[in-house]
Structure 1
C-alpha cells in the first residue's frame, strides 16, 4: 500500500491561529494519578490501543505521566520542547484536550488543525510513522465533525483520513485505535451520504465497519471510546431496532475502571449517554 496523500492541509482546513490563554483544567478529582514509576509499570495497559514504545527515563517520561494524570497543557508543552521525539505526546495531549475539554468551538477547530499540520509535517519526513499518521487522521476526523462530515468529504479530508488509517493497519496490524477509527470512518460516511454513494465514492461499507470494530475491540477490549463508537455506528447503520445492543455497549463502557484521565473522561461520557 502506498503512503497517504501528502498534499498540504492549509487550504483544506482553514481556520484561525491557535487560541491563547490557559487550557481548561481536568475536572475529575477521582481520576487516576500516575507518576513516572507507575507509568513504567502501567505503560502496556495505558497504550493498549496504539502499541507505542515507552519513553526513556527523564523529562519526556514526566510529560507522559502528566498526560495520563490529566495535565494536558503541561504534557503538550513538554512534548513540544522535545521536538520530533516529543511529537506523539504533544499531539496526543492537544488532540485529547481539544476533543474532551475545550469549550470554545473555534478554539477546538484551531487545536485540531494545529495537530493535523504538525503530524502532517512529520508524515512528510517519516511516511511510516504510525503515531504521526494516527494523530493526523484523528485531528482531521474531529475537525471534520466540527465543520460537518459532508462538507469535509467534499473538501477531500475523508480520503486523507481513510488512507492514513489504512496505512497504519498495514504497517502495524495490532493498532487497535486505527481499526476503531477506520470503522468509525466507514460508518459516518454511510450515515451522511448513504450506502450507495458511500461505497462508490469513498469505498465505505457497513460490513467493513463492523469487522473493523470487532477487530479493534478484540485487540483492546477495555476501550470505552471504542465501545461508544461501536454503539453509535450500530444505530447509524442498523437503526433504532438495535437500541438494545447499543445500550449494552454503553453500559459496558460506563462500567469500566478507567486507567487514566482520558479513560475517566470516556467513562463519564458513557454514563451521560445512558442518562439521556
Structure 2
C-alpha cells in the first residue's frame, strides 16, 4: 500500500470512529431523555390549543392553605411594600398620575375598563383593591375584578389564575384548561402592545403580560407528551417569548429565571445532546441566567427552587446536594404575599419528590416516566400544595389514586 493510500485509509478509519463516538454519545444522552413516543390520539395532535370548558370559572376555586389575613394589607401598606412585593415582576405602582400619562399615550390600555369615566384617582383605588386580593390569595375574586380593568387589571387577574392552576387545582385537566385560558387572554393583547414596546415606562407591563403567556404555555409543555410538544410548537413559542422578555425588561429577575428554566426544561425532556443540537439549549445559558436572576433577587422562592430543578434536569444526581440546598433555601424564605407563600410550600413538596428520586431510582428518566404516568392515569395535579407529596406506592399503583370522572 502506498503512503498516500495508507494516509487515506487512516483518515477514513478516524472518520468512522468519530461517527461511532458521536452515535454512542447521542445514544447515551437519548437514554436519559424522554424519547418514548407517548400515546396520543390524532385529534390531540391536530389541536393547537387545549379546549377550555368555561364551567371551570363558575365552580368555586380552592382556598389557599393559610389565613388570608396574614397578607391582607391596607392601601398605605401596599404603597410602602410595593417595591419589595414587585421585586420579581417589576410592575409599576398604578398611581393616578402613571395611569393618566400612559393611558392618554396608549389608548388601548383603557379598552375593557368597566365604568371608567376619566377619574384616575378612582381607577388607582380600583387597581389597589384587585392587587390587595391577589397579595392575600383571594385569587378567584382577584381574577373577576381584574378582568374588568383592561390590560393593567389583567396582570393580577392572570397571575391569580396561574397561582390557582398550578398550586390549588386538584385535577391536571383543569390545570391545563386554566393555563390555556391565561395564554389565550394574554395573546389578545400582543398586537396592541407592539406600539409601546420601545417605551421604558410601559415595558414592564408588556414584559409581565408576555411572561404570563409564556409561563402558562411552559407549564403545559413540561408535562405533555413529546409528540404534542412538537406538534404544537411549544418549544419555539416558549424560547422566543423568553428571549423577548429578557430583551424588553433586562432588570426583571423572573425573566432571567424563566429564560434559564426554558433550556433546563428542554434538557429534561430530550436530554442535553438533542436539546443542544435541535433546540439550542445550553447549560451555560441556564447557569448564567440563574446567576443573573439570583443576583437581582436572591430571596425569591421560585427562583431558588427552579434553579434546584434545573440542576437536576441538566446533571441528574451529580449536583443533587446542591439542588437540595437551593430547595431548602427556598423553604426558609419568609413570604410577604400569596405567590411567595405558595412557592415556599411547593418547595417543601418538591424536596420530598427529589428525595424519593434520590433514594429509589438510578434512572432519572424512569422516575419522570412513572411520575407522568401517575398524573395521566389519576388526573391529579402534582404541583398542587393541597395534596400529599408523591410516594412509591402512588408511582407503583396509580390506579388506586385515580380521581373519579367529572360529571
Same fold judged by TM-score > 0.5? yes
TM-score between the two structures when normalised by the length of structure 2: 0.63
Tell me the residue number matched to 2:400. none
Structure 2 segments unaligned to the other structure (5+ residues): 1-45, 96-123, 198-205, 356-407
Which one of 188, 210, 231 corresponds to residue 121 of structure 1?
Answer: 188
Tell me the residue number matched to 1:14. 50
Tell me the residue number matched to 2:152. 85
How far apart are the structure 1 equivalents of 2:136 and 2:227? Answer: 35
How far apart are the structure 2 equivalents of 1:273 and 1:91? Answer: 24
Corresponding position: 1:224 with 2:301: yes
Tell me the residue number matched to 2:137. 70
Tell me the residue number matched to 2:91. 52
Q: What is the CA-CA distance between 1:149 and the residue it aligns to?
A: 5.8
TM-score between the two structures when normalised by the length of structure 1: 0.91
Corresponding position: 1:37 with 2:62: no
**Could you say what the CA RMSD is over the residues aligned between the two structures, in angstroms?**
1.8
8 Å contact 1:100–1:265 — kept in the other structure? yes
How far apart are the structure 1 equivalents of 2:83 and 2:226? Answer: 33
How far apart are the structure 2 equivalents of 1:236 and 1:35? Answer: 42
8 Å contact 1:187–1:233 — kept in the other structure? yes
How far apart are the structure 1 equivalents of 2:156 and 2:237? Answer: 22
Corresponding position: 1:101 with 2:130: no
Tell me the matched-pair count: 267
Which one of 218, 232, 237 corresponds to residue 160 of structure 1?
Answer: 237
Greater Rg by CA: 2
Corresponding position: 1:142 with 2:209: no
How far apart are the structure 1 equivalents of 2:272 and 2:337? Answer: 37
For the structure 1 residues 149 and 175, does the alpha-carbon distance in structure 2 shift closer, same or farther, using more than 3 Å as the test?
A: farther
8 Å contact 2:47–2:232 — kept in the other structure? no
Post-superposition CA distance 1:119-170 (Å, at most 9, x none) = 1111122133212211110111112124246632442011111111111111
For the structure 1 residues 152 and 122, does the alpha-carbon distance in structure 2 shift closer, same or farther, using more than 3 Å as the test?
A: same
Corresponding position: 1:192 with 2:259: no
Q: What is the CA-CA distance between 1:107 and the residue it aligns to?
A: 1.4
Structure 1 segments unaligned to the other structure (5+ residues): 1-9
